[in-house]
């Protein structure tokens, strides 16, 4: 483990050792339900400790029963904080009255300002306090957490974020859950924010205001890193952090972290971003997101589809809907809808910029005309995509698959307009000394600097490719071939006729008569194949009439279709003077966007299939981004002589060992 992070893990290990107190009474999957809220409680207690007496003095200045203005108490608690606690107790003093500990601790929690009590309500901490007291563990737990100093001067906000993430990881392992759904590796966030900041030319202005939004906030790691990075770049910047999170435990941690940072408490909201967007109508300077990979959106389908159908492009999902098994692209569209558009009355560089982590599927899943393809095409047509960075595998805690960072912009720099940069960073990593879940690799500071330089340089190299947005467009054409049939009455074809839906609806006597007529025709023709539809039809009619079977023109057409089979030497089937197409020979071709489809047909298809044509009514437009293909390097196979030599050496060693054994 990196030395700089050792204190973080020392704190996390000590906090998690509270599990030793719980073991035997609580089940493993319940440890986090106790440890996480008490960690938040210890952090907030430490944050307010320096101003505790000032708040108590302020409360004493009012008559009993008189309402104390919350704004006044918040001011006494510290200008940088938006919360307070008016209880006379803290974690240390609570231990002095063991007989009334349960009641006093509940009162202490409820004495927090309303904006913080919501955090503990999400954890259902009052139920936890009752359970601990019932098992005589409350005092031991309280004493354990009173030993750890989580004051911001001792544990910075960044370190506290790491501690929370490590605790959640351990909780997830203990309860067999997926830790990676709650947070993103900090170095990946560092890369994302670095690239966003690099493209913001106005960030250096005095007292610049920047809003940062994360629709999948988790524990707030992305918001915290963005806050630190922006303020490091410009100490006069005012940064507003906003986010929404669906998981109550992660939401509570994120909200606690933002409260300590002095952010307005209403900026962090619990809920489903896809169905209940908390900040509808608002747009932001920066958007960051790591939506869940490959997770279905069935539960949100009704609301999402209604927004798509009713609001169209006035809503978030106008371009299309991905397959229900993976909602990643829904979050991409939501993020783009949340970014500020260029404003004529302001400098264009105030337009929104975004970064989102996705797996490989959104790059290419779905053919032309599919929801995924339409979404990609919309993103490219509107010139919202600046760059895609391919990350190394084994970077995330819950998956080892390939991941990609998409950099988005509502107003690209002039040199980037109409272009997309692909950066291959798959080989840029350092191995971790100890794996954490599926995470075995991480980005070093040097790796992040290299990727940032490739992005800022915006030039072609082995690891950076630049394309026009239209390079990713294509048309899928439908290539048809004429239907040629020959006809015969055979036992197999008779069964096809009888299985046809229209024939199956006939009355039993009519079905029997038809079968009898066809069997007789088969015996009479002895399986002779006819290439003339007209002659075969007349012969068939004669047989049907002879056996008392009368068919309507529509039903006769069905019977002929089932008795016919594709035959290159057969008769060409026409309709209104034009050849009918053979569905069994139908094929599709993807044609590059800049190429004329008819010229493509003449060059690539007609030399091999002279009678083919394009059904232009079926042509579809699509878009895909074959990232890996553009960085593929052909490695020629080893010469056979070299392989033979290696085999001879191996066989020689084997023979030598066998000879030694036989001795």
Domain with CATH 1.20.1260 in the chain: 3-174
The helix-helix angle for 533-546 and 508-525 (nearest 10°) equals 120
Tens digits of residue pLDDT in 268-290 = 999 999 999 999 999 999 999 99
What residues are paired with 574 via a beta bridge? 579
Q: What is the mean pLDDT of the chain?
A: 89
φ, ψ of residue 542 in degrees (nearest 5): -60, -45
- What DSSP letter does each residue of 446-507 carry, written as one string? HHHHHHHHHHHHT--BTTEEEEEGGGGEEEEEEEE-B-EEEE---HHHHHHHHHSHHHHTS-
Q: How far apart are CA 565 and CA 573, in angstroms?
A: 12
- What DSSP letter does each residue of 88-119 carry, written as one string? S--TTGGGG-GGGHHHHHHHHHHTB-HHHHHH
Q: How confident is the model over 245-266, as a mean pLDDT?
A: 86
Domain with CATH 3.40.50.150 in the chain: 179-475
The residues, any chain, with a CB within 8 Å of residue 154's CB and separated by 6 or more, are 46
Q: With contact defined as beta carbons under 8 Å apart, do 251 and 268 qualify?
A: yes
Give the sign of the dihedral formed by CA 375, CA 376, CA 379, CA 382: negative
DSSP β-ladder status, 484-487 and 620-623:
unpaired
| pLDDT(2) > 60 | no
Q: Which pair of tokens denotes residue 223?
A: 């918001």
Reported pTM: 0.83
Q: How far apart are CA 591 and CA 598, in angstroms?
A: 10
Tens digits of residue pLDDT in 532-590 = 888 898 888 888 888 888 888 999 999 998 998 888 888 898 888 889 999 889 999 99
In the three-class reduction of DSSP (H, G, I as helix; E, B as strand; rest coil), residue 153 is classed as coil
Tens digits of residue pLDDT in 114-144 = 888 888 988 889 999 999 999 999 999 999 9
In the three-class reduction of DSSP (H, G, I as helix; E, B as strand; rest coil), residue 35 is classed as helix
Which of 2-6, 81-85, 117-121, 236-240 shows the lowest mean pLDDT across its residues? 2-6
Query: Which residue's structure tokens are 């057409």?
Result: 557
What CATH number belongs to 179-475? Answer: 3.40.50.150
In the three-class reduction of DSSP (H, G, I as helix; E, B as strand; rest coil), residue 592 is classed as strand
Q: How far apart are CA 11 and CA 44, in angstroms?
A: 16
What CATH number belongs to 3-174? Answer: 1.20.1260
Rg of the Cα trace of the chain? 35
pLDDT, residue 177, reads 55
Q: How far apart are CA 18 and CA 170, in angstroms?
A: 12
How many helices and strands in the chain, by DSSP H and E? 26, 20
In the three-class reduction of DSSP (H, G, I as helix; E, B as strand; rest coil), residue 526 is classed as coil
Q: With contact defined as beta carbons under 8 Å apart, do 527 and 481 qualify?
A: no
């Amino acid at each position: 483990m990196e030395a700089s992070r050792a204190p973080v893990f020392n704190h996390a290990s000590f906090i998690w050792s509270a599990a030793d107190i719980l073991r035997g009474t609580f089940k493993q999957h319940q440890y986090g339900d106790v440890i996480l809220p008490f960690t938040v409680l210890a952090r907030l207690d430490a944050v307010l400790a320096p101003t505790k007496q000032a708040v108590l003095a302020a409360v004493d200045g009012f008559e009993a029963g008189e309402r104390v203005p919350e704004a006044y108490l918040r001011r006494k608690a510290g200008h940088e904080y938006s919360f307070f606690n008016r209880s006379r107790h803290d974690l240390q003093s609570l231990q002095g009255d063991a007989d009334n500990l349960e009641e006093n601790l509940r009162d202490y929690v409820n004495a927090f300002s309303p904006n913080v009590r919501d955090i503990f309500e999400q954890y259902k901490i009052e139920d936890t306090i009752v359970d601990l007291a019932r098992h005589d563990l409350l005092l031991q737990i309280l004493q354990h957490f009173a030993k750890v100093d989580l004051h911001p001067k001792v544990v910075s906000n960044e370190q506290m974020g790491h501690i929370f993430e490590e605790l959640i990881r351990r909780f997830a392992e203990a309860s067999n859950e997926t830790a990676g759904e709650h947070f993103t590796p900090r170095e990946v966030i560092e890369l994302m924010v670095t690239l966003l900041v690099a493209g913001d030319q106005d960030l250096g202005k005095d007292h610049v205001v920047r809003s940062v939004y994360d629709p999948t906030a988790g524990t707030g790691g992305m918001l915290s890193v963005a806050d630190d990075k922006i303020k490091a770049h410009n100490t006069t910047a005012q940064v507003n952090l906003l986010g929404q999170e669906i998981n109550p435990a992660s939401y509570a941690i994120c909200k606690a972290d933002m409260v300590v940072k002095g952010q307005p408490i209403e900026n962090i909201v619990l809920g489903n971003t896809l169905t209940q967007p908390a900040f509808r109508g608002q747009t932001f300077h920066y958007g960051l997101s790591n939506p869940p990979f490959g997770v279905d959106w069935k539960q949100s389908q009704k609301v999402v589809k209604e927004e798509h159908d009713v609001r169209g492009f006035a809503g978030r999902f106008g371009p299309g809907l991905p397959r229900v098994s993976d909602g990643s692209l829904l979050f991409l569209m939501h993020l783009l809808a949340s970014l500020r558009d260029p404003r004529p009355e302001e400098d264009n560089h105030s337009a929104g910029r975004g970064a989102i982590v996705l797996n490989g599927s959104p790059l290419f899943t779905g053919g032309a005309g599919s929801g995924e393809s339409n979404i990609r095409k919309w993103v490219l047509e509107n010139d919202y995509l600046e760059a895609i960075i391919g990350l190394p595998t084994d970077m995330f805690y819950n998956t080892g698959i390939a991941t990609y960072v998409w950099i988005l912009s509502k107003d690209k720099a002039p040199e980037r307009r109409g272009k997309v940069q692909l950066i291959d960073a798959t080989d840029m990593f350092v191995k971790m000394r100890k794996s954490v879940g599926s995470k075995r690799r991480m980005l070093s500071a040097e790796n992040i600097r290299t990727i940032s330089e490739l992005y800022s340089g915006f030039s072609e190299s082995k690891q950076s490719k630049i394309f026009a947005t239209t390079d990713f467009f294509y048309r899928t054409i439908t290539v048809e071939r004429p239907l040629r049939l020959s006809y015969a009455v055979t036992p197999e074809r008779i069964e096809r006729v009888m299985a046809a839906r229209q024939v199956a609806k006939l009355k039993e006597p009519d079905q029997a008569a038809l079968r009898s007529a066809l069997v007789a025709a088969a015996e009479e023709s002895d399986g002779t194949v006819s290439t003339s539809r007209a002659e075969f039809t007349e012969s068939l009619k004669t047989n049907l009439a002879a056996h008392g079977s009368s068919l309507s023109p529509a039903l006769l057409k069905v019977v002929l279709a089932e008795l016919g089979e594709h035959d290159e030497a057969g008769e060409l089937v026409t309709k209104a003077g034009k050849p009918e197409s053979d569905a069994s020979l139908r094929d599709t071709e993807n044609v590059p966007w800049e190429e004329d489809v008819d010229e493509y047909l003449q060059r690539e298809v007609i030399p091999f299939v002279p009678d083919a044509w394009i059904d232009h009514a079926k042509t579809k437009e699509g878009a895909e981004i074959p990232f890996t293909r553009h960085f593929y390097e052909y490695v020629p196979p080893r010469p056979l002589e070299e392989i033979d030599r290696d085999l001879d050496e191996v066989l020689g060693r084997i023979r030598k060992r066998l000879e030694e054994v036989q001795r």
